[in-house]
Structure 1
Amino acid sequence: MVDSRSHRWPQPLKEQPSRIWYGGDYNPDQWPEEVWDEDVELMGEAGVNVVSVAIFSWSKLQPREGIYDFDWLDRVIDKLGKAGIAVLLASATASPPLWLTQEHPEVLLRNERGDVIWPGARQHWRPTSPIYRDYALQLCRALAEHYKDNPTIVGWHIGNEYGCHNRFDYSDDAMRAFQDWCKQRYQTIDAVNEAWGTAFWSQHLDNFTQILPPRYIGDFNFMNPGKLLDYKRFSSDALKAFYMAERDLIQEITPDLPITTNFMVSSLGSTLDYDDWGREVDFVSNDHYFSPGEQHLDELAYSSALVDGISRKEPWWLMEHSTSAVNWRPINYRKEPGQLVRDSMAHVSFGADAVCYFQWRQSQAGAEKFHSAMLPHAGKDSQVFRDVCELGEDLRLLSEEGLVGTTLAKAPIAIVQDYQSEWATEHTATPSQHVRHWTEPLDWFRALADLGIRADVLPISAAWDTYQAAVLPAVYILDEANSQRVRDYVSGGGKLFVTYYTGISDERDHVWLGGYPGSIRDVVGIRSEEFIPMGSDEGALNYLQLDNGAVAHDMADVITSVAASARVVASFQAPKHTGLNGLPAITVNTFGEGKAAYVACKLGREGLVLSLPELFTEMDLTFEQAGGNGDILRVEREQQETGTKFVFLFNRCDHEIELDLAGEPLVASLAGVDDGHARIDPNGVIVLKDEKEASASL
């Protein structure tokens, strides 16, 4: 087991109570100094108690090589501290100043074609550049030495969204670092050849100097899958090594201040291995921006559940989200009334003890000038700012009622997420480009929510095998250790749901032989010989009907043998000429003391809702909330020692929901309670406290 850093949380300023942290990125260097006093005053009005400063301020802090200017930042921090507003101080290394890249253009990224990524945006530096690291660490040292005794600073915000724009670099610095990474991982070049299957296409390597980054190989060619998977691992590790160098230097000078950096966890694919990174921060932080449309709340809840899983149920920090529209989509939709408060409460319900935005004051110029902020272009006389103030008051109340220090209650079922499977299934030579690991877990999360069941979302290295039931959704890579965990879990009495595209390859992306799912066929009790990709091309199979009424799209399995210990729950209905009619689509196998269901096709949210109730019966599973009202997302935070419970009730629908409620809510946004009868409007939320008040009849 890899060691993790002990959880350390930023502590309140002297003589201030412990509260949910509330604020956002603050960029005073974008504004004349006369604006700063107004900012601090309005922050107090909104209930802001923390801001992150200097995230992109390198050129302001170090206008020329060897020349530092901290006077302006001293004045800002002094104003904030006197107003009782704490500071997370950034290392300011996210983007280099122009004098540095002009003097040392060799620190700039190169893309896969070898083109230089020039200054003009942000994060245009190489993670493996020793020159860039030296300059960054000089700045870190200067900042840490200057502010090491400042009482307003409660923690460090290192870098910013590592890998957002510089995940992959193909320079010679990166090449040499990748060669060293491969030496450390494999020890011998023969081991690299074995891992990458270089016998294919005459790619045999004689020595480590022949290892290149996955540079451009033509528009219609396929990169070696093992090499590409390792390059994604290497790129995550290279950025992590850069972060750790900054962290370790700063920690040496300010050992009492906790350190974090902001992840970008969502359901839609990942940049880095955030579970691995989660072991290297004192507290997990995340940036999350809403998905427009009807999945808005569910995707947010799924992502927050995954952050809680990465944090192992320790409090985590919502470092960035938006008050309304962002600036980087083709269409930047605004948030609907109520969603500013509702979204923040959803993050809090899943374990966030800090709610922060990008950013405090909306920029007047630059690429993010149309990105919403806590104080918009319209100023304080705006609905956004009124909602910001309402949220500040809600968070103050929840803090006073004791929410801080409670944790997300354990759900009855865990959905497993795996970054390695995500990266492997991104390759361009797979059975279907419409199927990735990340395309399946959210469907399960939403389907379970439709059935009134909340799920936890856990990285594969976490303790998913301590749950009553668990889901392996298209977990393409299962190494021997995790395959054995599956066997031990089910044989010991666990109830496991396994889908198509699970257990296909080992950690090297070598296919397990003998039929799918190769590494756990004995557990699920079936054997599939072939994939059934489905699509919309003329004459192609574009869906498969199941005899239980569900419909499969995109991917299915050709199951040709079923163990005597397994029962077929649903079968495919297909034209005779396809050879698929009557083949198993859903099975349940008894394995030791437990049971494993196999879902041999992509059913989507609707098909899972149709199919799961019968599967629960087959697997002897009962859930307290099963059969409840899927219109409500119910999330609980609890204090184990005292039994105190906070219950969050969110409206998942586009219509008003009515329910009976015992007790008065602490928070009621777009909701109301009258004599035990509650109404929650679309985008509304109610928060209750304690056992009595939590007994909502849904």
Structure 2
Amino acid sequence: MSEHDRDRTPVRLDAFAFGGDYNPEQWPEEVWDADMALMRRAGITMATVGVFGWAQVQPTPGTFDFGWCDRALDKLADNGVGVCLATMTASPPPWLARAHPETLPVTADGTRLWPGGRQHYCPSSPVYREHAAALVERVARRYAGHPALRLWHIGNEYGCHVSTCYCDVSAEAFREWLARRYGDVDGLNEAWSTAFWSQRYADFAEVLPPRAVPAIPNPAQNLDFQRFSSDAMLECFLLEKRILREHSPGVGVTTNLLGLAKPVDFFEWARHQDVISHDSYPDPHRADTHVEVAFNYDLMRSLGDGRPWLLMEQAPSAVNWRDRNAPKAPGQMRLWSYQAVARGSDAVLYFQFRQSRGGAERFHSAIVPHAGPETRVFREVAELGAELAGLPEILGSRVEADAALLMDWSSWWALEAESHPATDLSQVDANLAHYRPLWESRITTDIVHPSADLSRYRLVVVPNLYLVDEAVAANLADYVRAGGYLVMSFFSGIVDGNDRVHLGGYPAPFRELLGVHVEEFWPLPPNGAVGLAFTDGHHGTATVWSEWINLEGAEPLATFAGGELSGLPAITRRSFGDGAAYYLGTKPDATTMGNLLRRAAAEAGAAPVLPGAPAGVEVTVRRTADGTRFLFLLNHNVFGVQVPLPPSATDALTGQELGDQATLDRRGVLVARLGLSATT
């Protein structure tokens, strides 16, 4: 057990956490009793309170007024609603900026960002941290023993609006961070390759954040600044966590990770969460948005090493911040909520309970819309609340995965930097190109760090892992040598942790494992494509990238057909130890990628959860500690489908026995309890 596991406070729920952000400070108190009645009607079990409450509880320096919060929490407790209580530090009050403008963040070009929105603080500011800590101390002392308290919510969506600050305060903090990392300035110079372009530093005092410069910035400096910026925000989180632990050691802490947020290293942050929480806002206008959402949910589950996580926020219908804000169609909110549960969430929470009358998010949907509770949105939420109340056995159960997809934030930051053979590579696009065929094949996939123990997985997929150290390379080689199957894509294993090229021929750390030597990168022109000719007679196309590949033990599965590299290997396979490693020296079309991953999965023995399910139907299984299994079938199609069922399945909501197939309406959901004879 790691040090962080020993420090983790388990978060136990006796019912699904169902509800969401409740902001009573936006409404006169005569509305609150109506809110309580509506919460009972909707089956609300948890409310997130106080996320943006700082200015309300501390209206002026040194003046505190918690009366409204006391009364709101008391009402929630009296009505059986638990509270996820925020520390209120996400958005400082205007008086702090007026008294201390040095707490405000500064952009790379020197622009200071002012109050009037939210998240207007420099994460490294000692003044901000001092005032935030003082507030958290008061909140913790006051509410640690409150009967409604179930969970602490620190900050809000770190990195959403301000993920980096380039002010002088941040510059000094960056220098201190670098001194801890490298020990002395000579170590920094070596790591940053400062012999290039006369960038050598004689003293840490000369080092700045990567502010606006006249030419291509130092890539290692940029990479370290992104690491530092994630760590600076994490220091704010940990400061508040220490205070909460002191005053309420038995209450768990969390913060809501936003989507697939590039500025925040989720793997590092996850080590400090008692439970992983996530905010999910898919776009109803995108027909395949549920695949990216599934990826994010698999990541959240994996961050907690398979433990249940919490869907902390979603919209009951439309959001307010896209160019076109589509509402969720009838049944879509229910379908997408069950998608979170199917992939490991023990919570379905919304932003927010009552739709705001004013402010920037006044057109963001809510459980209680402007039109009131006699609306489609409220009815759908209440119906879902009743359903989840009937599924208590699922709480705490886990999802088991046969496959893993590797992801690393440092590699992501470095991959998308400037001055590469191609500067339009996207880590998210690469992840989804590799993940989608697994989703379509119903092969459950964890999203894990490259240094993780991979022995439990039959198949490991590696999309464009540009930055690796020797330990990671050894981890992947050991996995395959012991019988694992690996699929790796181009531009992987190119640089070390300081963005310095591994010498010895690309991809040096993986040459033996893959059995290839890449002599040159050969990016394709914008919108360009090249043919692929497979040794079994099949053909495909590829885009974005190609490589001059020399074989060193691998066998070619496909060669380039056309262009300057015509006839040279494009996709290879090598037997290595008791396993095998595939290498993709280009980006195949979706059909070809699907065929390749299905071949590798079949070789590896990574089996679909439910073979024969129609296209567009998502399938997962959650298993309880006593071995009971719940099968989730989610129809993302806009038409009904027939889905084959394993034997001895019953409807988990009604207890009705199911036959050998189920009918799912458009956007339909079925949760089935599997009998002992079921093979799924």
Say yes or no: TM over 0.5.
yes
One-letter amino acid matched to 1:634: V
Match of 1:338? 331
Where structure 1 has 5 or more consecutive residues not aligned to the other structure, the ranges are 13-17
> Does structure 2 conserve the Cα–Cα contact (< 8 Å) formed by 1:265 and 1:306?
no
Distance 1:466 1:316 in 2: 21
Q: For each residue in 1:73-128, what CA deviation from the matched residue of structure 2 results, as whole angstroms up to 9, or x when unmatched?
A: 11111110000001111110111111111111111011111111011100010111
> Does structure 1 conserve the Cα–Cα contact (< 8 Å) formed by 2:52 and 2:88?
yes
39 and 461 in structure 1: CA distance in 2 versus 1, 3 angstrom threshold: farther
Match of 2:391? 398
Q: Which of the residues 350, 353, 357 maps onto 1:357?
A: 350
Match of 1:233? 227
One-letter amino acid matched to 1:348: V
Q: For each residue in 1:454-483, what CA deviation from the matched residue of structure 2 results, as whole angstroms up to 9, or x when unmatched?
A: 322223343334311111111111111101
> Does structure 1 conserve the Cα–Cα contact (< 8 Å) formed by 2:307 and 2:344?
yes
Q: For each residue in 1:221-261, what CA deviation from the matched residue of structure 2 results, as whole angstroms up to 9, or x when unmatched?
A: 31111000000000000010111111101211111211111
What does 1:153-302 align with in structure 2 at a 5 Å threshold? Answer: 153-218=149-214, 221-266=215-260, 270-291=262-283, 292-302=285-295
> Does structure 1 conserve the Cα–Cα contact (< 8 Å) formed by 2:466 and 2:492?
yes
> Does structure 1 conserve the Cα–Cα contact (< 8 Å) formed by 2:612 and 2:644?
no
What does 1:663-682 align with in structure 2 at a 5 Å threshold? Answer: 663-667=649-653, 676-682=660-666
Q: Which of the residues 614, 635, 638 maps onto 2:620?
A: 635
464 and 338 in structure 1: CA distance in 2 versus 1, 3 angstrom threshold: farther
> Does structure 2 conserve the Cα–Cα contact (< 8 Å) formed by 1:651 and 1:681?
yes
- For this pair of structures, how many residues does the alignment match? 671
Distance 2:597 2:344 in 1: 28
> Does structure 2 conserve the Cα–Cα contact (< 8 Å) formed by 1:476 and 1:502?
yes
Match of 1:15? none
Distance 1:654 1:571 in 2: 39
Shift of 1:621: 4.3
| 1:589 matched to 2:574 | yes
Match of 2:3? 3
> Does structure 2 conserve the Cα–Cα contact (< 8 Å) formed by 1:265 and 1:307?
no
406 and 625 in structure 1: CA distance in 2 versus 1, 3 angstrom threshold: closer
SS in 2 for 1:466: coil
Shift of 1:664: 3.6
| 1:572 matched to 2:565 | no
Shift of 1:534: 2.1
Shift of 1:605: 3.0
Match of 2:419? 429
Distance 1:396 1:69 in 2: 36
> Does structure 1 conserve the Cα–Cα contact (< 8 Å) formed by 2:515 and 2:551?
yes
One-letter amino acid matched to 1:660: P
One-letter amino acid matched to 1:438: V
Shift of 1:278: 0.6
SS in 2 for 1:414: strand
> Does structure 2 conserve the Cα–Cα contact (< 8 Å) formed by 1:664 and 1:693?
no
> Does structure 2 conserve the Cα–Cα contact (< 8 Å) formed by 1:316 and 1:351?
yes
Match of 2:552? 563
Q: Which of the residues 377, 381, 395 maps onto 1:384?
A: 377
Shift of 1:375: 1.4
Where structure 2 has 5 or more consecutive residues not aligned to the other structure, the ranges are none
Distance 1:544 1:209 in 2: 53
SS in 2 for 1:498: strand
Q: Report the TM-score when normalising by structure 1.
A: 0.92
Distance 1:624 1:536 in 2: 36
Shift of 1:339: 1.3
> Does structure 1 conserve the Cα–Cα contact (< 8 Å) formed by 2:11 and 2:274?
no
Shift of 1:616: 4.9
Match of 1:534? 524
159 and 248 in structure 1: CA distance in 2 versus 1, 3 angstrom threshold: same
Shift of 1:550: 2.1
Shift of 1:453: 2.3
One-letter amino acid matched to 2:395: V
Q: Which of the residues 84, 102, 116 maps onto 1:120?
A: 116
Distance 2:555 2:119 in 1: 54
Match of 1:648? 632
Shift of 1:685: 1.5
One-letter amino acid matched to 2:575: T
| 1:524 matched to 2:514 | yes
Q: Which of the residues 13, 19, 34 maps onto 2:15?
A: 19
Shift of 1:692: 5.3
Farther-moved stretch of structure 1 (460-469 vs 587-596): 460-469
Q: Report the TM-score when normalising by structure 2.
A: 0.95
Over the residues paired in the alignment, what is the CA RMSD in angstroms? 2.0
635 and 233 in structure 1: CA distance in 2 versus 1, 3 angstrom threshold: same
Match of 1:111? 107
Farther-moved stretch of structure 1 (234-243 vs 290-299): 290-299
> Does structure 1 conserve the Cα–Cα contact (< 8 Å) formed by 2:487 and 2:600?
no
> Does structure 1 conserve the Cα–Cα contact (< 8 Å) formed by 2:294 and 2:339?
yes
Match of 2:32? 36
> Does structure 2 conserve the Cα–Cα contact (< 8 Å) formed by 1:688 and 1:694?
no
> Does structure 1 conserve the Cα–Cα contact (< 8 Å) formed by 2:459 and 2:601?
no
> Does structure 2 conserve the Cα–Cα contact (< 8 Å) formed by 1:447 and 1:608?
yes
One-letter amino acid matched to 1:563: E
Distance 1:182 1:318 in 2: 36
Distance 2:271 2:442 in 1: 33
What does 1:144-159 align with in structure 2 at a 5 Å threshold? Answer: 144-159=140-155
SS in 2 for 1:87: strand
Distance 1:321 1:442 in 2: 21
